[in-house]
Amino acid sequence: MPKLPKPKAPGLIGGLGVTFKTMLKGAVTVQYPHEREDPPTRARGVIALKEENCTVCMLCARQCPDWCIYIEGHKEKRPPRREGGRERTVSLLDRFDIDYALCMYCGICVEVCPFDALFWSPEYEYSESNIADLLHDKEKLGEWMETVPEPEPLEVGAETGKK
């Protein structure tokens, strides 16, 4: 039987070996929607609104680079805390819409809110078939509060409690 000549193209043979090994190793595909991957805790999926914390200060709407937050509120009078005191006014939210067609998912609104009314949630399955349906109102934003995860602990060496 004639002797096989030494391959003069070892790179070519090596390349074949790589693809063969990968074929045997199995696929890395996650078959969505049958299987799902969990995004990390901090993943910026959707913004949730905790309505009771909001004081209609409009900081988020002002700081949004896209101006995609639409806020309307009104003031109401509340009885004074003590007898003979001045009447208090509270701001109540009428309308808090975020237009997710414009939202850049930058997180500036969540960051600047002084009253912790906005939170990030890793929820990502809220696609719509009509682009106008991406304008979500405060009821929907409030529903997403349930998906907001607990803040995770920070890495070794971080100073907690400081910003």
Partner 1 sequence: MTELALDVGWGTILAIKTVVVLAIIPLGAIILGYTFLLKMMAHMQSRLGPMDPGGFHGWFQLFGDGIKFIQKEDVMPAKSDRRIFAIAPAVVVISTFLVFLVLPTGPDLVVSDLDVGVFYALAVSSLSVVGVLMAGWASANKFALLGALRAAAQLIAYELPLLLAVVGVVVMAGTMSLQGIVEQQQNGAIFGWDGIGNPFVFAQIIGFVLFLVAAQAELTQTPFDMPVAESELVAGYMVEYTGFRFLFFFIGEFGTAFAFAALAATLFLGGWAIPFVTDPGWSNVLGPIVLITKIMLVAFLMFWVRFTYPRLREDQLQAVAWKFLIPIGLANILITGALKVAF
Partner 2 sequence: MSVDFAVDRQAWRHLADAQVNVELDTGDMILNLGPQHPATHGTLRLVVRLDGERVVSADPVIGYMHRGYEKLTEFRTYPQVTTLINRIDWLSSFANEVPFMHGAELLMGIEAPPRAQYIRTILTELSRIATFMLFLGEMGLQVGALTPPFYGFRDREHVLNLIEAATGGRFHPNFNRIGGLKDDLPWGWVNECRNTMKVVFDACNILEELVAENEIFGARTRSIGIIPPEVGTGYGVSGSNLRASGVDWDLRRDGKPYLVYPELDFKVWTHPDGDSYARYWVRLQETREAARMVVQMLDRIPTGPIMAKVPRIIKVPEGEVWVETENPLGQMAYYVISKGATGPFRVKIRSASFSNVSILPWLLRGVYVPDVITILGSLYFILGDIDR
Which residue lies nearer to partner 2 by CB, 3 or 162? 162
**Cα–Cα distance measured from residue 94 to residue 91, given in angstroms and rounded to the nearest whole number:** 9
Residue 104 contact among partner 2, partner 1, none, beta carbon within 5 to 8 Å by kind? partner 2
Give the Cα-Cα-Cα angle 62, 63, 68 (nearest 5 degrees): 70
124 in contact with partner 2 (CB under 8 A): no
153 in contact with partner 2 (CB under 8 A): yes
132 in contact with partner 2 (CB under 8 A): no
Phi/psi for 91 (5° steps) reads -95, 135
**Cα–Cα distance measured from residue 132 to residue 101, given in angstroms and rounded to the nearest whole number:** 8
Residue 4 contact among partner 1, partner 2, none, beta carbon within 5 to 8 Å by kind? partner 1
28 in contact with partner 1 (CB under 8 A): yes
Tokens of 23: 């074929």
Does a cis peptide bond (omega within 30 degrees of 0) precede residue 33?
yes
Please choose, from the candidates 153, 114, 143, 129, the residue with its C-alpha nearest in 3D space to the C-alpha of residue 47.
143
31 in contact with partner 1 (CB under 8 A): yes
Tell which one of 6, 10, 29, 127 touches partner 1 (CB under 8 A): 29
Tell which one of 2, 5, 40, 84 touches partner 2 (CB under 8 A): 40
Give the interface with partner 1 as residue ranges (CB under 8 A): 1-2, 4, 12, 15-16, 18-20, 22-23, 25-29, 31
